[in-house]
Structure 1
Amino acid sequence: MACPASNVQGRIVWEPKRVEATRMDAFRRHVAQKRSLRLDNYDALWQWSVTHPCEFWADVWDEVDIISSGHDDGKGVRWESVLRDAKAPIYPPPRWFEGARLNFAENLLRHRGDSIALIEACEPSPGGEESRKDVLLTHDEVFQQVADCARSLRKSGVQKGDFVAAYAPNCIATIVAFLACSSIGAVWISCAADFGPEGVLERLNAVRPKVLFTCDGVRYNGRVHAHAEKVKQVLGGLQQSGLKLDLLVEVDYVGGLQPLLGATQWKEFLRNGMGEAHIAFEQQDFNDPCWVLFSSGTTGKPKAITHRLGGMLLQLSKEHLIHGGLNEKDVFFQYTTPGWMMWNFLVGAMVAGCPLVLYEGSPLKPASVLWDLAAKYGITVLGTSAAYLGALQRSGYNPKAALGDKLKVRQVLSTGSPLRAELYPWIIENVGDVLIGSITGGTDICSLFAGHNEALPVRAGELQARNLGMNVDVVDQDGKSVPRGGEGDLVCKSPFPVQPLGFWGQDEKRYFESYYATIPGVWYHGDHVSLTLNGGLVMLGRSDAVLNPGGIRFGSSEIYEVLEANKHVPPLDTIVTSVAAALKLPTGDDEVVVLLLVLQSDCQAAKDGKAFEELVKSVRGVVRSQRSARHVPRFVRRVQNVPLTLNGKLSEVPVKKLLNGASLSSVNSSTLQNPVRCSDMPQRRCASHIDDFAQLVFPDIDRAKFRFFLTGCPGRICRDWTRTQ
């Protein structure tokens, strides 16, 4: 049994055996010698990196060996300037590495030969046997497929600046399609296969792609989910908005399903471009767009965050190669879908030349599935979420006891939400002597502000350190630095190469207000944190109302829009308004979505329990079908009213505070139209026992079911609880 968090917080649970053998320390020594500096430790290197950005990022470029063309001063320098003004303000985002020309895919495909590059695995069949054989491709085979795919895209009319989209699983074909797209200079967008058609349409309509890659279906939780109907809805929606795709390509991922009418099959598409193993890599400006990722959409439509290719290449290379020490001998795994920024992080690991293991399916069906995969392929860096690690602990599964010496894992990376302090010693005891890298960043920068560092010790409950080149600080509401150990908001005080170019197709005002308006002169990220005396970061939660169940972030507006679009459909037509908020689990490592409904006072659902249950069933069904299973609210409650701001805007933060135990005095009633109604919110008060907690927050719930949900059970992740009701 792990120790209570209060006993382990800040305790060292792992230390590097030989700091001097790490790539991070080698980089420190190299910079110190090259620049004639005294950099005795990581803190000194970090401080220099944020006060001398031009020299630092130039040294990173050389260290990770960026392949580029364009400007050449005869001494190997491939750019005119790193920054024209080293003291440029953070807004507007400055241009970096002017004069450099490069290609993202060219840098990822630099490794050739017959060693394995990509391994594609999927969820086992319910009987335990593999549902289909794993697919392994060498570096040469991947290069050939990318070359064929790129030629086929060019034949279809795709050129630099066009959009190419995927509505597909985490598989080899999706990565090949991305690399081919990038080699041409086209801009990439991807949606997870489990997204509902409404969410996909919202994203595709924002960028108007020429090509869509999709699949026949996926396997999750022991079931095959055919994809055709969802794709048809997306195509119909695109047609209604006046967009006709130039090309639709379907990957035969599950197999045995009816091919989508009008789609070109993946293998046929590759044959159309078959030729030599040669790729004409489009040379692009460092600041050209590479991909568009979408925000969670808390206050409206998701933001189409446009990332620059040079910044992403340089930053991801720094994180994987220098911070993580990733190399050709490693095997890298990240549990993710193409709809999450961690998929881009996963693909970025190709710079190391090591095999990537791709997996599509439930991570807990059975509980051993990811660890069996780790043992089978010798995974050395295993990335997952804090919610998964908490669920694994509750399942009782012990990877170390089950697999012993078969496990080669040296790093466990955790993201999505803060990793509980007591899980750190549990990982050491149940996995092995591994670096535990809790990381933070997000879709907005598609990389990290702070995270893993193989040259530093790991302390329970802390991110190891702020990352090189990221001038991260913790400030109060006035923008003043908080003393170490104090709490405040995470900001970045100076420019960095992965600042987004903007929001595609949206005005500059929204971009400015998202990151730069809250505290002038800095990037405001919205994380509530503490910087420790050791230089680590403790993540205390989100400063805003983004929903984050299971480490998958999305905005409440994605739920509201579904309800609004179906308000004419009984019984959803009885909903007057609603508010969604996150409820933290007592274990502290995850949260669930609570949806509060204001109903018409004379409707049957407002008076009758059974009628309300039918309404809840309808709400969950429509959210699942039009968004995804991850969007489905775990609890739906009736309330008399919801808080509104003085200008009539729904105010979610007070709801979140009250749900999670804050007193009414914590809500600034002067900012609300109806402050007295805040007392209508169900509150979570101090409860030492799960049953007490259930009774206080949801007095009419079946407490046995609530206990089952909170404590979990072997072989199930938290979100699967809804299926037991």
Structure 2
Amino acid sequence: MEQEAGDQLLSKVMYDPGNVSGTRLAKFQQKIAEKYRRPDVGKDYESFWAWSCEDPASFWRECWDEVDIIASVRAKDDDVLPEGDRIYPPPKWFVGARLNVAENLLRHSLPGSELVNKPALIQATEPSAEEPENFLVQTTTQSELRRQVAQAVRALRQRGVVAGDRVASYASNCSANVVAFLATAAIGAIWISAAADFAPQGVLERLTTVRPKVLFAVNAVRYNGKVHDHTEKVRAVVDGLDASAGAEEQKLEGVILIPYMASSPTTLDKTKGWTSWESFLKEEGRAREGEDESSIDFAQLDFNHPLWILFSSGTTGKPKAITHRAGGMLLQLAKEHLIHGGMTPQDVFFQYTTPGWMMWNFLVAGLVSGAPLVLFDGSPLRPSASSLWSLADKLGITVFGTSAAYLAALEKSGCEPRREFPSLKVRQVLSTGSPLRADLYPFIMKAVGPDTLIGSITGGTDICSLFAGHNVALPVRAGEIQARNLGMAVQIYSDAGKPLGAGSPGDLVCTKPFPAQPLGFWGQASEDRHRETYYSTFDNVWYHGDYVVLTEHHGLVMLGRSDGVLNPGGIRFGSSEIYEVVAKLQQQQQQQQQQGEAKTTAAARIQNSLVCGLKMPKGDDEVVVLFLVVEQIDDAQWQALVDEIKSAIRRERSPRHVPRFVRRVKGVPLTMNGKLAEVPAKKLLNGASIEGINKATLSNSDVLTEYVEEGRVLRSQLS
């Protein structure tokens, strides 16, 4: 019944903004229509979007002016996109321009700014069950933020950090982490961030690729009602980096420990170069005599200089170190916040995220608007489902960013924030991580307010921004992303690489260059992997791996992933993160047997494994299923193996990685060159017809029927 209700709701108008002529987007549109003498561009949003894609150089030059980029040198008009409309190799943008991202994000902290004494960052932590209303709120004003960044810049420079060095974070979503990023960007060093809930092995897989000079970390975190010490995990990462560093590779030279949980002891391992956050700022970052303690010497950098490195989910091996350019990130994210979202200093911006997700970068970029950022760390559902809404009420949050999985959990809990907190000021609810199903739209309108813009957004780590998303000048339709974003030439392609019209599902691609295209993958001697990832599926277009349909209203309905990325609860990760844990168990058992240290256990009998996602009945989430091919074992041994694997995955990865189901099968599908064929298995698991699978691409297509039956059994268990 719920699915039927969702189908009936799909594309129904849930919110209409009314007269939008006063929005920044509409004013920008009219300015373009008049300047370029194109009355058709001013007709409607779709016409404006089409122009922005037809002439990317002109659009992005105008966007630069609209969001008021601060730069010491501006690119000449002919140098905005001098290489033309070619999308690969990724072209250089705004050649000759010199700027600094941190300088732009700190614009509202300048002496004399109207916002200089207003909040810039509001740090909040999951409350304890004993004090459910105590979020341990700490506020940092714009002037305080500038002073702390200035201190951190001086301290990093004193440590020898220069443009191009890597600076990493293994921390919570806290104010100090934002300060550390801004200081890194001010110097021109490159930022890398891992969430505190990542296991050390997962962090090492990432950091050994980029080899940071300095690491920021927290002493402890609170999650799911418990305080967890973090220092042992930090020590494991530091030891791993030290042990694996080659003679010519950058060594880790220091760790700065942030006292995130004041109630937890902060033990500094000074033999490893550990320093307290306070000492780092106040001693190493002390201003020279006569120097303004808030003065910052911002490095003026090329538009295409690297800003940060984000990591792919690792579907086909070690996570890819996706390197993003500074100017492209600044321009793209400013466009999304200021033009599409209409964010102003009167807003208060919250986005539920960890520092290991691109939405953290999206959140921090909100500083460009002057709106205070709410940095929350902890479980979104503890001590109760209404906790985040209590926080929203206390802080006056107006833009509430979250995941579709959280909104589904909120509905299931029976929580109705508006009834419990009648003075809520939330005007936008942004949803990402997975498709937001249509039947959740009326729930959100009722739970939050009838004038709420529900902004389902889509993009990804690959571009650290959006292809399509929220739009203050358009209606909201149930189940639809409102529109393709300006400057993003998104089309839907068939398997044959042909553009599809409205109503026909296909692959999301981008056909024109855009400033947020990544520069490449850090540490890759060859460009082959970069090209194969994004540009090889179809000729001269960006292939994103999302399966979507364009609606008659020019919105998008997300149908899922085209590839094998796992996405339970909106947390994306690759299948290789599971395979590596299974392989490690096998290797450990085999080594122990060879050394005569252990009896044979079931782990040594694993012959192969395959992992994929199984959609929940409503289609808004998925669970992880791990299939194992194992030599003959009895039921007790099988259960012991399942327990051992789940425990290892929880320990080596995170609780979010643990499969819902571990199933025993006779075989796993393999391609002709022996690679795991995850996508066919996933399709069959989710109910696709076996006739739709190209068996000619598989070396053992006879195993497919087992996955048809497994899908039937598991789907019935979830229903």
Q: 2:505 aligns with which of 487, 498, 509?
A: 487
Normalized against structure 1, the TM-score is what?
0.92
Q: 1:240 aligns with which of 236, 239, 243?
A: 243
Q: 2:61 aligns with which of 58, 70, 73?
A: 58
Asked whether the equivalents of residues 305 and 500 of structure 1 are also in contact (C-alpha less than 8 Å), the reply is yes
Q: Which residue of 1 aligns with 2:89?
A: 92
Aligned-partner SS, 1:677: helix
Q: 1:674 aligns with which of 700, 705, 713?
A: 700
Work out the CA distance in 2 between the residues paired with 1:527 and 1:166: 30
Alignment of 1:14-53 (within 5 A): 14-38=15-39, 39=41, 40-53=43-56
Aligned-partner SS, 1:495: coil
Q: Which one-letter code corresponds to 1:310 in the other structure?
A: G
Work out the CA distance in 2 between the residues paired with 1:447 and 1:349: 12
Q: Which residue of 2 aligns with 1:617?
A: 643
2:280 is the counterpart of 1:269: yes
Asked whether the equivalents of residues 571 and 618 of structure 1 are also in contact (C-alpha less than 8 Å), the reply is no
Deviation per CA, 1:195-221: give whole Å up to 9, x if none.
Answer: 011110010000000000011111111
Work out the CA distance in 2 between the residues paired with 1:414 and 1:430: 15
Alignment of 1:192-231 (within 5 A): 192-231=195-234
Asked whether the equivalents of residues 80 and 99 of structure 1 are also in contact (C-alpha less than 8 Å), the reply is no
Deviation per CA, 1:303-350: give whole Å up to 9, x if none.
Answer: 110000000000000000000000000000000000000000000100
Q: Describe the shift of the 1:226–1:131 C-alpha distance in structure 2 as closer, same or farther (beyond 3 A).
A: farther
Deviation per CA, 1:563-585: give whole Å up to 9, x if none.
Answer: 21231234422222111100100
Aligned-partner SS, 1:274: coil
2:173 is the counterpart of 1:159: no
Q: 1:373 aligns with which of 376, 386, 391?
A: 391
2:618 is the counterpart of 1:587: yes
Aligned-partner SS, 1:19: coil
Q: Which residue of 2 aligns with 1:527?
A: 546
Work out the CA distance in 1 between the residues paired with 2:214 and 2:275: 11
Q: Describe the shift of the 1:627–1:260 C-alpha distance in structure 2 as closer, same or farther (beyond 3 A).
A: farther
Q: Which residue of 1 aligns with 2:260?
A: 253
Q: Which one-letter code corresponds to 2:130 in the other structure?
A: G
Segment of structure 1 superposing worse, 479-488 or 60-69: 479-488
Asked whether the equivalents of residues 79 and 99 of structure 1 are also in contact (C-alpha less than 8 Å), the reply is no
Q: Which residue of 2 aligns with 1:547?
A: 566
Q: Describe the shift of the 1:131–1:425 C-alpha distance in structure 2 as closer, same or farther (beyond 3 A).
A: closer
Q: Which one-letter code corresponds to 2:641 in the other structure?
A: L
Work out the CA distance in 2 between the residues paired with 1:326 and 1:683: 50
Q: 1:306 aligns with which of 309, 318, 323?
A: 323
Q: Which residue of 1 aligns with 2:583?
A: 564
For residue 70 of structure 1, report the CA deviation from its aligned partner: 2.4
For residue 611 of structure 1, report the CA deviation from its aligned partner: 2.2
Q: Which residue of 2 aligns with 1:511?
A: 530
For residue 626 of structure 1, report the CA deviation from its aligned partner: 1.3
Aligned-partner SS, 1:167: strand
Q: Describe the shift of the 1:581–1:68 C-alpha distance in structure 2 as closer, same or farther (beyond 3 A).
A: same
Asked whether the equivalents of residues 340 and 471 of structure 2 are also in contact (C-alpha less than 8 Å), the reply is yes
2:422 is the counterpart of 1:410: no
For residue 18 of structure 1, report the CA deviation from its aligned partner: 2.3
Alignment of 1:689-708 (within 5 A): 696-697=713-714
Q: Which residue of 2 aligns with 1:713?
A: none
Asked whether the equivalents of residues 80 and 98 of structure 1 are also in contact (C-alpha less than 8 Å), the reply is no
Q: 1:607 aligns with which of 634, 648, 660?
A: 634
Asked whether the equivalents of residues 121 and 360 of structure 1 are also in contact (C-alpha less than 8 Å), the reply is yes
2:687 is the counterpart of 1:661: yes
Asked whether the equivalents of residues 211 and 251 of structure 2 are also in contact (C-alpha less than 8 Å), the reply is no
Asked whether the equivalents of residues 68 and 78 of structure 1 are also in contact (C-alpha less than 8 Å), the reply is no
Work out the CA distance in 1 between the residues paired with 2:261 and 2:208: 28
For residue 231 of structure 1, report the CA deviation from its aligned partner: 1.2
2:302 is the counterpart of 1:285: yes
Q: Which residue of 1 aligns with 2:593?
A: none
Q: Which residue of 2 aligns with 1:82?
A: 80
Asked whether the equivalents of residues 492 and 550 of structure 2 are also in contact (C-alpha less than 8 Å), the reply is yes
Work out the CA distance in 2 between the residues paired with 1:358 and 1:487: 37
Aligned-partner SS, 1:647: coil
Alignment of 1:329-408 (within 5 A): 329-365=346-382, 366-404=384-422, 406-408=423-425
Q: Which one-letter code corresponds to 1:607 in the other structure?
A: D
Deviation per CA, 1:281-304: give whole Å up to 9, x if none.
Answer: 000000010000000111111111
Asked whether the equivalents of residues 212 and 251 of structure 2 are also in contact (C-alpha less than 8 Å), the reply is no
For residue 131 of structure 1, report the CA deviation from its aligned partner: 5.9
Normalized against structure 2, the TM-score is what?
0.93
For residue 607 of structure 1, report the CA deviation from its aligned partner: 1.8
2:344 is the counterpart of 1:327: yes
Work out the CA distance in 1 between the residues paired with 2:76 and 2:269: 48
Work out the CA distance in 2 between the residues paired with 1:550 and 1:22: 34
Q: 1:502 aligns with which of 520, 525, 543?
A: 520
Q: 2:628 aligns with which of 566, 573, 597?
A: 597
Asked whether the equivalents of residues 484 and 530 of structure 1 are also in contact (C-alpha less than 8 Å), the reply is yes
Work out the CA distance in 2 between the residues paired with 1:153 and 1:78: 33
Q: Describe the shift of the 1:239–1:79 C-alpha distance in structure 2 as closer, same or farther (beyond 3 A).
A: farther
Work out the CA distance in 2 between the residues paired with 1:230 and 1:85: 46
RMSD, aligned α-carbons: 1.6
Q: Which residue of 2 aligns with 1:437?
A: 455
Moved over 4 A (4+): 77-80
Q: Which residue of 2 aligns with 1:104?
A: 101
Aligned-partner SS, 2:681: helix
For residue 633 of structure 1, report the CA deviation from its aligned partner: 1.1
Aligned-partner SS, 1:514: helix
Asked whether the equivalents of residues 475 and 491 of structure 1 are also in contact (C-alpha less than 8 Å), the reply is yes
Deviation per CA, 1:578-636: give whole Å up to 9, x if none.
Answer: 111001001211111111111122xxxx322x322221111111111111121111111
Q: State the number of aligned residues.
A: 681
Deviation per CA, 1:482-504: give whole Å up to 9, x if none.
Answer: 12111111110011111110000
Asked whether the equivalents of residues 562 and 623 of structure 1 are also in contact (C-alpha less than 8 Å), the reply is yes
Deviation per CA, 1:52-74: give whole Å up to 9, x if none.
Answer: 11111011000000000125xxx
Deviation per CA, 1:375-397: give whole Å up to 9, x if none.
Answer: 00010000000011011101110
Asked whether the equivalents of residues 661 and 683 of structure 1 are also in contact (C-alpha less than 8 Å), the reply is no
For residue 447 of structure 1, report the CA deviation from its aligned partner: 0.3
Aligned-partner SS, 1:239: helix
Asked whether the equivalents of residues 185 and 284 of structure 1 are also in contact (C-alpha less than 8 Å), the reply is yes
Asked whether the equivalents of residues 216 and 260 of structure 1 are also in contact (C-alpha less than 8 Å), the reply is no
For residue 359 of structure 1, report the CA deviation from its aligned partner: 0.4
Aligned-partner SS, 2:607: strand
Asked whether the equivalents of residues 682 and 698 of structure 1 are also in contact (C-alpha less than 8 Å), the reply is no
Q: 1:178 aligns with which of 178, 181, 189?
A: 181
Aligned-partner SS, 2:639: helix
Structure 2 gap ranges (5+): 110-115, 288-292, 590-600
Deviation per CA, 1:144-191: give whole Å up to 9, x if none.
Answer: 000001100001110100000000000001000000000000000000
Work out the CA distance in 2 between the residues paired with 1:204 and 1:393: 38
Q: Which one-letter code corresponds to 1:278 in the other structure?
A: S
Asked whether the equivalents of residues 121 and 134 of structure 1 are also in contact (C-alpha less than 8 Å), the reply is yes
Work out the CA distance in 2 between the residues paired with 1:193 and 1:578: 28
Q: Which one-letter code corresponds to 2:690 in the other structure?
A: L
Alignment of 1:419-438 (within 5 A): 419-432=436-449, 433-438=451-456
Aligned-partner SS, 1:344: helix
Work out the CA distance in 1 between the residues paired with 2:701 and 2:464: 38
For residue 130 of structure 1, report the CA deviation from its aligned partner: 5.2
Q: Which residue of 1 aligns with 2:675?
A: 649
Work out the CA distance in 1 between the residues paired with 2:295 and 2:139: 21
For residue 6 of structure 1, report the CA deviation from its aligned partner: 1.5
